[in-house]
Structures are given as structure tokens and as C-alpha cells.
């Protein structure tokens, strides 16, 4: 990857709906050259998909919480992860090291809904030995941006 690829990634993060012509103008390439670079970034797995970012408050999910969960044995982790994948209110699931086995980002309609999710769904997963819930009061920064142009060492694109 070169600086142009990183600039393209920055532009895509800013507006993934931008046309190839707009992206090309931003990074100084033709439409066809921009298209070719986008295809290579997708093939290499650097661009993993195109997503819409929704407003959870306006859709009835104003409560966000982080739920830490512990499982009894290492072989319970796969079952836990599979079960969590079936709960749509769980936006993220991260296996971690330390006191807890997993940290989950959860969205709920209200605190009662959150309590039901934790008590009746998360704690009911076989192998769960405990949970701790932290309710988010506000999020001064909430995004998925990855800095690209500050990257020190160029990454390699897979050959298509």
C-alpha cells in the first residue's frame, strides 16, 4: 500500500457513498484507477464492507451498556460467542484477558430491557459464571474511524 491507498481509505471513511469520480478527485486519480484501487482494497480484506450508521436513539435504543461476562472454562468460550451472536441487541462481542472473559456492547430500549437482556439471555448462556454491567451516560466520541494517513509502516496488499 502507498500513500494514495491510505488517502483513498480516509476518503472512503469520510463518505463511503462518494462516487468513484469524487474519490478520484480527492486522491488525484482517474475513475478507472480509483476503481481498481478500491477493488484491490476489498480483495485484500482491508475494506471489509459498506455499512449504514443508524441513530440508535431515534430507533428506540437509547440505552448503551458494556456488559463484562465470565465463563467457567476456556472451552465454554465458543458456545458463549455463538449464543451471543443470536442476540441482536449485542452490537459487539470481544474476548478479553483478565478478570472477565468477554466484554459486550449492548443496546436496549430502557434499563428494564437491559436488565432482561442480562438476566434472561446473557446469564442464561451455559458456562456463564457472572456479569458486570456498566451503563453509558454519554459518548463524547463514538465511531469506527481508523487513522490511515498517520500509519508509519505501509501494509501489503494481497495480490489479486
Residue 105 scores a pLDDT above 50: yes
Beta-strand pair 63-71/102-108: antiparallel
152 band by pLDDT with thresholds 50, 70 and 90: low
Question: Is 63-135 in CATH node 3.30.70.920?
Answer: yes
Output phi, psi for 25, to 5 deg.
Answer: -65, -40
What's the Rg (C-alpha) of the chain?
A: 20
Domain positions in the chain are 3-43, 63-135
Residue 74's DSSP bridge partners are none
144 band by pLDDT with thresholds 50, 70 and 90: confident
Q: Which fold has domain 3-43?
A: Arc Repressor Mutant, subunit A (1.10.10)
Residue 108 scores a pLDDT above 80: yes
Residue 157 scores a pLDDT above 60: no
Q: Which residues contact 32 (CB under 8 A, 6 or more apart)?
A: none
pLDDT tens per residue, range 10-20: 999 999 999 99
pLDDT tens per residue, range 3-42: 999 999 999 999 999 999 999 999 999 999 999 999 999 9
Alpha carbons 94 and 68: distance in angstroms, whole number:
9
Instruction: Tell me if 28 sits within 8 A of 65, measured CB to CB.
Output: no
Alpha carbons 112 and 114: distance in angstroms, whole number:
5
Amino acid at each position: 500500500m502507498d500513500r494514495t491507498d491510505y488517502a483513498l481509505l480516509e476518503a472512503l471513511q469520510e463518505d463511503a457513498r462518494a462516487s468513484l469520480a469524487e474519490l478520484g478527485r480527492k486522491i488525484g486519480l482517474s475513475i478507472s484507477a480509483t476503481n481498481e484501487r478500491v477493488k484491490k482494497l476489498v480483495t485484500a480484506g482491508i475494506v471489509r464492507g459498506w455499512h449504514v450508521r443508524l441513530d440508535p436513539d431515534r430507533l428506540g435504543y437509547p440505552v448503551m451498556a458494556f456488559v463484562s461476562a465470565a465463563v467457567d472454562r476456556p472451552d465454554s468460550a465458543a458456545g458463549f460467542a455463538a449464543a451471543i451472536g443470536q442476540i441482536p441487541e449485542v452490537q459487539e462481542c470481544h474476548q478479553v484477558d483478565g478478570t472477565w472473559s468477554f466484554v459486550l456492547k449492548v443496546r436496549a430500549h430502557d434499563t428494564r430491557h437491559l436488565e432482561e437482556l442480562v438476566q434472561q439471555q446473557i446469564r442464561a448462556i451455559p458456562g456463564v459464571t457472572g456479569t458486570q454491567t456498566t451503563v453509558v451516560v454519554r459518548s463524547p466520541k463514538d465511531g469506527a474511524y481508523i487513522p490511515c494517513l498517520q500509519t508509519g509502516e505501509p501494509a501489503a496488499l494481497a495480490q489479486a
